[in-house]
């Protein structure tokens, strides 16, 4: 396994849990030394137990060398990042680098598995970089969500394997035999397209939900009940139906842009997807508008408490986080932003992406002196706080709940003004 990030580490731990012998290569020294000393470099529920169990059972090892990791391996998973380039396309340099590095060291007949999210045609590109006729390159996209990566990896909805060689496809599918998941075997291009299609669909669904919530506010309908009415239709379902401050994270924004780029290159006008992306930007602006209104019409010179900075709860990931975008935008518009997130330590040197925010040690400290409190990330612990205390420390008791996390009547009873997303 090459890369111990949000995909590689849970995947390695899961495969080891299934009984395979896994060597995980990670170049980042801090990540590697954390793993070697039994600490998890990422926040992920259940990961520490799974890793510890496999290390103790001699099924999982760590190394800093990709070359070392691939020695004797029958399967080599590429789990390296594919960040967004300036033009929206996926940057494949890490994939190319990894393929180049391992190419001559692969055992004859080894199967290279592309787990990183890569544009259609990338399996062929990796094959060309490796340049060996005995090596098959297979696409096996990941669908795990951060925060529930272990659960998702142990119980996947489906396993997708794209390969030109049916034997290689069957062998990769066999690695996941312990899951009861349906196996879809297809060509590499189709497999790569399935990944982008899934994330683009999810993003479009959320943009629809957020736009609908905006409409509900205008016409006086309650979005929560509207969505309840929608969700019971089995064709629609309840998953991915929660309005929020907009969708973000390390995948949806970059994958939708990459698919749009692929469509543009192919001469296809995917205006629906472009609309879903534009609608997501509008959602951020709508939430900022709500906060401005809660602050009496102007952000300049005011103090806002921001609860939550990660792109969703149960992860420490702030990449393309709508919560963080909003916090910075408030600061850019002149507000002092007092921020709390359970995964951020205010005592350590603030990482670059948090500069400009006043980092606080708990939610009460963040709320102190604020003219508005905005719930940006749906951390469960925010529900159970002492809101009478929050009320007493705030300058003006106004709540903007960008995740519809709190009980409006309970906080209104205490004396807060409350504004959710599409909610009465
Ligand atoms: C996503 C895909 O779900 C996963 O299958 C893929 O492999 C990687 O990308 P992830 O980035 O971990 O997973 O986040 P996800 O849980 O999908 O959430 C994406 C964004 O949508 C977050 O900003 C989240 O807060 C938001 N969201 C999600 C909502 O606003 N409402 C919802 O109902 C669900």
pLDDT tens track for 171-181: 999 999 999 89
Contact 366, 306 (CB under 8 A): yes
Is 202's C-beta closer than 6 angstroms to any atom of ligand 1? yes
Question: What's the gap in Å between 146 CA and the centre of ligand 1?
Answer: 8
Indicate which residue's Cα is closest to atom 26 of ligand 1. 247
Sequence-distant (6+) residues with CB within 8 A of 265 are none
Indicate which residue's Cα is closest to atom 16 of ligand 1. 145
Q: Which three-class secondary structure state does DSSP give residue 2?
A: strand
pLDDT recorded at residue 46? 96
CA proximity to 44, closest of 156, 150, 116: 150
Question: What's the gap in Å between 280 CA and the centre of ligand 1?
Answer: 13
Testing ligand 1's pocket by substitution, the residue of 90, 252, 376, 403 carrying the most ligand atoms inside 8 A of its CB is 252
Measured CA to CA, the distance from residue 171 to residue 189 in angstroms comes to 19
Measured CA to CA, the distance from residue 100 to residue 112 in angstroms comes to 12
Looking at every residue in the chain, the average pLDDT score rounds to: 96
Task: Match 């849990």 to its residue by tokens.
Answer: 17
Measured CA to CA, the distance from residue 62 to residue 57 in angstroms comes to 14
Contact 164, 140 (CB under 8 A): no
Residue 100 has pLDDT above 90, yes or no: yes
Q: What are the tokens at 270?
A: 């995917």
The DSSP call for residue 206 is: H
Task: Determine which one of 79, 216, 251, 360 is catalytic.
Answer: 251
CA proximity to 198, closest of 126, 123, 288, 259: 259
The DSSP call for residue 312 is: S
pLDDT recorded at residue 424? 84
Going by DSSP bridges, is the β-strand pair 136-139/111-114 parallel, antiparallel, or unpaired? parallel
Q: What is the mean pLDDT of residues 267-285?
A: 98
Q: What are the tokens at 337?
A: 């932003």
Sequence-distant (6+) residues with CB within 8 A of 291 are 299, 304, 326, 330, 372, 374, 400
Residue 117 has pLDDT above 90, yes or no: no
Question: What's the gap in Å between 247 CA and the centre of ligand 1?
Answer: 7
Query: Angle of helix 122-130 relative to helix 93-102, nearest 10 degrees?
Result: 30
pLDDT recorded at residue 179? 95
Q: What are the tokens at 161?
A: 């394997």
Contact 405, 312 (CB under 8 A): no
pLDDT digits (tens, 9 = 90+) for 361-420: 999 999 999 999 999 999 999 999 999 999 999 999 999 999 999 999 999 999 999 999
pLDDT recorded at residue 116? 86
User: pLDDT confidence of 45, banded at 50, 70, 90?
Assistant: very high
Residue 37 has pLDDT above 90, yes or no: yes
Task: Match 């380039």 to its residue by tokens.
Answer: 85
Query: Active-site residue 79, yes or no?
Result: no
State the closest ligand 1 atom to the C-alpha of 245, by its place in the atom list counted from 1. 30
- Above pLDDT 70, what percent of the chain? 100
Q: What is the mean pLDDT of residues 229-238?
A: 97
pLDDT recorded at residue 120? 85
pLDDT recorded at residue 119? 84
Q: What are the tokens at 44?
A: 């992920």
Is 199's C-beta closer than 6 angstroms to any atom of ligand 1? yes
CA proximity to 287, closest of 257, 330, 319: 330
Contact 2, 25 (CB under 8 A): yes
Q: In what order do the strands lie in the sheet with 136-139?
A: 75-78, 111-114, 136-139, 159-162, 183-186
Q: Which three-class secondary structure state does DSSP give residue 77?
A: strand
Q: What are the tokens at 362?
A: 């708990």
Is 1's C-beta closer than 6 angstroms to any atom of ligand 1? no
């Amino acid at each position: 396994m090459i890369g111990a990030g949000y995909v590689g580490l849970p995947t390695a731990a899961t495969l080891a849990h299934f009984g395979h012998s896994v060597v995980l290569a990670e170049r980042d020294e801090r990540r590697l030394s954390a793993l070697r000393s039994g600490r998890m470099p990422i926040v992920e529920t259940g990961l520490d137990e799974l890793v510890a169990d496999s290390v103790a059972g001699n099924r999982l090892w760590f190394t800093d060398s990709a070359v070392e990791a691939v020695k004797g391996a029958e399967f080599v998973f590429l789990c390296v990042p594919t960040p967004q380039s300036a033009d929206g396309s996926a940057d494949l340099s890490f994939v190319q680098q990894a393929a180049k590095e391992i190419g001559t060291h692969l055992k004859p007949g080894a199967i290279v598995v592309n787990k990183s999210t890569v544009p259609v045609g990338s399996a062929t590109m990796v094959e060309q970089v490796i340049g060996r006729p005995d090596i098959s390159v297979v696409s096996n996209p990941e669908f795990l969500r951060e925060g529930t990566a272990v659960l998702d990896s142990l119980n996947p909805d489906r396993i997708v394997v794209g390969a030109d060689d049916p034997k290689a496809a069957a062998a990769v599918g066999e690695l996941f035999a312990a899951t009861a998941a349906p196996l879809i075997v297809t060509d590499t291009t189709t497999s790569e397209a399935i990944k982008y299609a899934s994330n683009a669909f999810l993003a479009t669904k959320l943009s629809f939900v957020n736009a609908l919530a905006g409409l509900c506010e205008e016409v006086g309908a309650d979005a929560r009940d509207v969505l309840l009415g929608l969700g019971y239709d089995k064709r629609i379902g309840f998953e991915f139906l929660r309005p929020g401050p907009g969708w973000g994270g390390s995948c949806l924004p970059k994958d939708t842009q990459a698919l749009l780029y692929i469509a543009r290159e192919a001469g296809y006008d995917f205006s629906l997807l472009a609309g879903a992306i534009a609608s997501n930007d509008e959602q951020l602006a709508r939430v900022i508008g709500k906060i401005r209104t809660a602050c009496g019409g102007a952000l300049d010179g005011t103090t806002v408490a921001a609860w939550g900075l990660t792109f969703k709860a149960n992860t420490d990931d702030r990449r393309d986080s709508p919560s963080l975008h909003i916090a910075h935008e408030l600061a850019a518009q002149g507000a002092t932003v007092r921020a709390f997130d359970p995964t951020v330590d205010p005592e350590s040197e603030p990482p670059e992406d948090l500069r400009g925010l006043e980092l606080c040690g708990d939610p009460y400290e963040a709320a102190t002196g604020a003219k508005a409190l905005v719930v940006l990330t749906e951390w469960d612990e925010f529900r159970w706080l002492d809101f009478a205390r929050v009320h007493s420390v705030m300058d003006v008791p106004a709540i903007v709940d960008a995740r519809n996390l709190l009980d409006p009547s309970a906080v209104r009873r205490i004396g807060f003004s409350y504004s959710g997303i599409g909610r009465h």
